[in-house]
């Protein structure tokens, strides 16, 4: 393999970000380029590094999607043009289950580009599971069969948002259902379906991409002897907030699609197991099932509330309103000859740890420059962050506050029984505080001779990427934990109170009186938590949707 970038064909799962694999997430976090399909959930896109180049091949600026052959070329182009780069190709479900991942892989092989496949949870089994339908069940179905229900023409029209015309690699001869195509791909892959065999098959049948052909598929199955009363379910937008299950029988499939307006993406599942869905439909019982909520807290704080809301069934779009930036201009200071002037490094946030190490590396140094120094941390989370970098903390205050840390270090410097460094008393002037620009002076007041380096700054987020704007536009409500978050949210979504082009949803959940007042100023319908705490806010949101 040449010195190209490497492509990862990653399955994004069916929609719920909680079903995305840990391996996929860790690749997205370090990917330089992310080429993604239309069906990939925005919550999964938010795992990507903020500096990654995001390429939406589900839709071009002109609102046409990119053809499969062009996607193949694009992947090769990125890999060849970016030696050492990590290129993530994110596809719905599993890349090798009707995902054309094989075609992309063949193209990469042809071009000498290295690749890996990261499987995803296919919609074929997970979407039924979210509708409470087990694809196999003892005594009802001992096998299940995943079948494509599209034909070539449909791929160009009905599912055009997802898939383009076939363009198989010249290296192999491929066709649906393993039939030989000899002179090329069959005109109609649906006519390649072995209806007599499918009709005879006692297992569960699962059709992907089959909605627009289902009238014909069900008719052919009945003609070939399948029981017209076979239970059948359509599951639309499975595992997303908009999941919907419509049940009928094989003989009423066509009319049901029209009457209920079943639309893609949807899977069709038929067999006795469908009946179990009437008893086991667990998801609709979650209080926030079907809701998409925008959480505007800073990423680290957001995860706590996001996890709680997700556990209640919501899809959460984390949209932090502030971001932190390492003050690289400071790196000259960290030309760490200076570090020899200090015996204690005191960290008051995980951001401080990250930024300090970024500066250390920028200065061409590493943890060896910290040998012999004492390390202090404000609390457990920062302590853990340091431990991840192979550094144990010597001093952590019991109360996990800046004041606690200041008092602890002051005591060590000034008390008779205090621990010593190298036999001598710890010298206050040899303490280095590593903090952000918004840190207050609490510690410095307790340790006036210490030095403070501001290693990062906190800024309001200035813009939202397009995919996030779209996600916000489709949300049911926004969750605000501060007035400034409301103000900045309105700014980045380009909204004024009564703007015609308002992206923000109408409903806001607010943590307290001031935040509510600001939200009302922008014409939000506001629901306020009883107490000023995240738990109270989560409780309020659940109550609101339960009535
Ligand atoms: N590789 C994908 C399938 C791609 S084919 C996978 O493994 O899931 C696209 C089809 O998958 C859609 O037409 C639809 O039938 C099905 N599909 C994908 N995501 C779905 C979802 N969230 N809900 C219902 N059907 C879905």
Domain membership of residue 17 (yes or no) is yes
122 CA from centroid of ligand 1 (Å): 7
425, 459, 493 — which closes off a domain?
Answer: 459
The 10s digit of each residue's pLDDT in 488-536 is: 999 888 765 555 567 778 999 998 898 999 999 999 999 999 988 888 9
Render pLDDT for 442-465 as a digit per residue (tens, 0 to 9): 999 999 999 999 999 988 888 888
Q: Residue 246 has what DSSP assignment?
A: E
**How far is 375 from 386, CA to CA, in rounded Å?**
9
**Position 327 in a domain:** no
**Which of 121, 145, 162 lies at the terminal end of a domain, its last residue?**
121
Provide Rg for the chain, Cα atoms.
28
Please, are residues 141 and 203 in contact by the beta-carbon 8 Å criterion? yes
Catalytic residue among 16, 37, 56, 94: 37
Tally of structural domains, the chain: 4
Joined tokens for residue 393:
């903390």
- 524 part of a folded domain: yes
d(C-alpha 101, C-alpha 89), whole Å = 9
Cα–Cα dist 459/303, whole Å: 19
| Other Cβ atoms closer than 10 A to 466 | 12
Domain with 146 in it: 125-283
Residue 329 lies in a domain: no
pLDDT tens sequence across 353-378: 999 998 888 888 888 889 989 999 99
Regarding the beta carbon of 477 and ligand 1, being less than 6 Å apart is answered no
List 59, 67, 82, 152, catalytic entry: 59
Kindly tell me if the per-residue pLDDT of 4 is higher than 80.
Answer: yes
- Give the per-residue pLDDT at 463: 85
* Nearest residue (CA) to ligand 1, atom 9: 209
Contact between residue 235 and residue 260 where contact means Cβ atoms under 8 Å apart: no
Q: Is 13 in the pocket of ligand 1 (CB under 6 A)?
A: no
**pLDDT band at residue 58 using 50, 70 and 90 as cut-offs:** confident
Task: Classify residue 372: in a domain, yes or no.
Answer: yes
Of 402, 424, 459, which residue sits at a domain end? Answer: 459
Taking 90 as the threshold, does the pLDDT of residue 280 lie above it?
yes
Residue 74 pLDDT > 80: yes
Give the pLDDT score at 174: 37
Angle at 515 between CA 510 and CA 518, to 5 degrees: 120
Query: Is 394 an active-site residue?
Result: no
Helix (H) or strand (E) holding 480: strand 477-480
pTM of the model: 0.71
Both 534 and 438 in one domain: the answer is no
| Stretch 283-301: mean pLDDT | 81
Can you give the CATH number for the domain in which 364 is found? Answer: 3.40.50.10090
| SS3 at position 231 | strand
> 437 C-alpha to center of ligand 1: Å?
47
Q: Are residues 416 and 271 in the same domain?
A: no
Kindly state whether residues 309 and 250 are assigned to the same domain: no
- Is 37 catalytic? The answer is yes
> Is there a single domain that holds both residue 202 and residue 273?
yes
Q: Does residue 239 fall inside a structural domain?
A: yes
Q: 276: pLDDT confidence band, cut at 50, 70 and 90? A: very high
454, 467: one domain? no
């Amino acid at each position: 393999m040449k010195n190209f970038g490497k492509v990862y064909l990653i399955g994004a799962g069916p929609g719920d970000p909680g079903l995305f694999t840990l391996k996929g997430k860790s690749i997205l976090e370090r990917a330089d380029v992310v080429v993604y399909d239309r069906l990939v959930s925005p919550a999964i896109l938010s795992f990507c590094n903020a500096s990654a180049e995001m390429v939406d091949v589900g839709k071009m600026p002109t609102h046409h999607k990119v053809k499969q052959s062009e996607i193949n070329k694009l992947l090769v182009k990125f890999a060849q043009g970016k030696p050492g780069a990590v290129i993530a190709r994110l596809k719905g479900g599993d890349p090798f289950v009707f995902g054309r991942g094989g075609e992309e892989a063949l193209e990469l092989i042809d071009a000498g580009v290295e690749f890996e496949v990261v499987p995803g949870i296919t919609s074929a089994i997970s979407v039924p599971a979210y509708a409470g339908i087990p694809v196999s069940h003892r005594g009802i179905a001992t096998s299940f069969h995943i079948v494509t229900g599209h034909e070539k023409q449909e791929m160009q029209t009905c599912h055009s948002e997802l898939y383009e015309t076939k363009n198989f690699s010249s290296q192999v001869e491929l066709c649906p259902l393993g039939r030989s195509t000899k002179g090329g791909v069959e005109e109609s892959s649906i006519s390649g379906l072995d209806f007599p065999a499918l009709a005879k098959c006692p297992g569960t049948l699962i059709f992907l991409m089959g909605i627009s052909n289902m009238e014909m598929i069900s008719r052919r199955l009945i003609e070939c002897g399948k029981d017209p009363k076979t239970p059948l379910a359509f599951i639309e937008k499975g595992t997303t907030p908009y999941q919907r299950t419509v049940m009928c029988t094989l003989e009423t499939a066509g009319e049901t699609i029209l009457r209920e307006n079943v639309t893609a993406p949807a899977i069709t599942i038929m067999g006795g197991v469908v009946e179990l869905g009437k008893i086991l439909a667990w998801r609709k019982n979650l209080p926030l099932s079907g809701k998409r909520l925008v959480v505007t807290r800073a990423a680290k704080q957001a995860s706590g509330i996001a996890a709680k809301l997700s556990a209640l069934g919501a899809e959460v779009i984390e949209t932090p309103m502030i971001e932190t930036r390492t003050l690289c201009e400071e790196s000259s200071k960290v030309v760490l000859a200076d570090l020899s002037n200090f015996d204690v490094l005191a960290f008051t946030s995980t951001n401080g740890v990250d930024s300090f190490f970024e500066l250390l590396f920028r200065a061409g140094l590493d943890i060896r420059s910290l040998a012999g120094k004492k390390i202090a941390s404000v609390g457990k989370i920062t302590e853990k962050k340091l431990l991840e970098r192979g550094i144990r903390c010597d001093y952590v205050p019991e109360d996990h506050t800046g004041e606690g840390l200041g008092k602890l270090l002051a005591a060590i410097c000034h008390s008779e029984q205090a621990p010593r460094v190298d036999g001598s008393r710890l010298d206050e002037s040899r303490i280095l505080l590593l903090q952000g620009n918004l840190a207050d002076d609490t510690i410095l007041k307790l340790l006036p001779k210490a030095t403070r380096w501001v290693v990062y700054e906190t800024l309001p987020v200035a813009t939202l990427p397009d995919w996030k704007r779209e996600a916000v536009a489709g949300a049911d409500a926004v969750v605000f934990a501060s007035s400034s978050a409301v103000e900045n949210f309105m700014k980045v979504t380009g909204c004024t109170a009564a703007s015609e082009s308002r992206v923000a949803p109408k409903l806001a959940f607010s943590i307290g009186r001031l935040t509510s007042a600001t939200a009302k100023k922008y014409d939000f319908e506001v629901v306020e938590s009883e107490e000023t705490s995240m738990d109270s806010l989560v409780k309020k949101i659940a109550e609101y949707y339960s009535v």
